[in-house]
Amino acid sequence: MTWAKIALQNMLRRKLRTFATMMGVAVAVAALFSLLAFQRGYQNGMRDELDRLGAHVLVVPKGCPYDSASMALHGASWPCYLKSAYLEQVRTTRGVSVAAPIFMNALYESNGTQQVYLGINETIQAVKPGWKLEGSLPTKTGEILLGATAAKNLHLQIGQEFNLPAIPGERGKVCGVLASTQGAEDAFLYMPLSDAQRLFKRPAQLTHILVRLQDPNALENVVEALRGCEAGMDMNIVPLTHLFQTIQGLVNSTRLLLGCIALIALIVAGAGVSNTVLMAVTERTREIGVMRSVGASTSDIFRLIWLETVQICLVGGVLGVLTALIGAQHLEEWLRNRLPFSPSGALIHPEAGIMLLCLLGAAVLGSMAGLLPAWRASRLSPVEAIRAAL
Query: Based on the domain organization, do 123 and 163 belong to the same domain?
Result: yes
Pick 73 or 21 by higher pLDDT.
21
Query: Based on the domain organization, do 140 and 65 belong to the same domain?
Result: yes
What pLDDT, on the 0 to 100 scale, is given for residue 386? 59
Range of lowest pLDDT (20-34, 164-178, 294-308): 294-308
Query: Based on the domain organization, do 252 and 362 belong to the same domain?
Result: yes
Its domain, for residue 266, covers: 3-49+247-387
What pLDDT, on the 0 to 100 scale, is given for residue 337? 77
Query: Based on the domain organization, do 11 and 34 belong to the same domain?
Result: yes
In the predicted structure, residue 371 carries a pLDDT above the cut 80: yes
In the predicted structure, residue 165 carries a pLDDT above the cut 90: yes
Query: Based on the domain organization, do 82 and 16 belong to the same domain?
Result: no
Among 215, 230, 245, which residue terminates a domain?
Answer: 245
Query: Based on the domain organization, do 296 and 226 belong to the same domain?
Result: no
CA distances from 203 to 187, 207, 211, 233, 320 (A): 25, 12, 22, 21, 58
Query: Based on the domain organization, do 84 and 221 belong to the same domain?
Result: yes
Domain count for the chain: 2
Query: Based on the domain organization, do 372 and 251 belong to the same domain?
Result: yes
Query: Based on the domain organization, do 254 and 240 belong to the same domain?
Result: no
Query: Based on the domain organization, do 87 and 42 belong to the same domain?
Result: no
The CB density around residue 351, as the number of other CB atoms within 10 Å, is 12
In the predicted structure, residue 140 carries a pLDDT above the cut 90: yes
Among 226, 245, 264, which residue terminates a domain?
Answer: 245
State the Cα angle at 74 between 69 and 75, rounded to 5°. 100
In the predicted structure, residue 8 carries a pLDDT above the cut 70: no
With beta carbons less than 8 A apart as the criterion, state whether 257 and 130 touch: no
In the predicted structure, residue 1 carries a pLDDT above the cut 60: no
Encode pLDDT of 70-82 as tens digits.
777 778 888 889 9
What pLDDT, on the 0 to 100 scale, is given for residue 81? 92
Largest CA distance in the chain: 99
Cut 0.75: pTM above it: no
In the predicted structure, residue 54 carries a pLDDT above the cut 90: no
Query: Based on the domain organization, do 233 and 287 belong to the same domain?
Result: no
Cα 162 to chain centroid distance, Å, stands at 37
In the predicted structure, residue 209 carries a pLDDT above the cut 90: yes
Which residue in 243, 264, 276 sits closest to 369, CA to CA? Answer: 276
Query: Based on the domain organization, do 306 and 205 belong to the same domain?
Result: no
Among 245, 261, 296, which residue terminates a domain?
Answer: 245
What pLDDT, on the 0 to 100 scale, is given for residue 254? 65
Mean pLDDT in residue range 135-161: 94
Pick 366 or 250 by higher pLDDT.
366
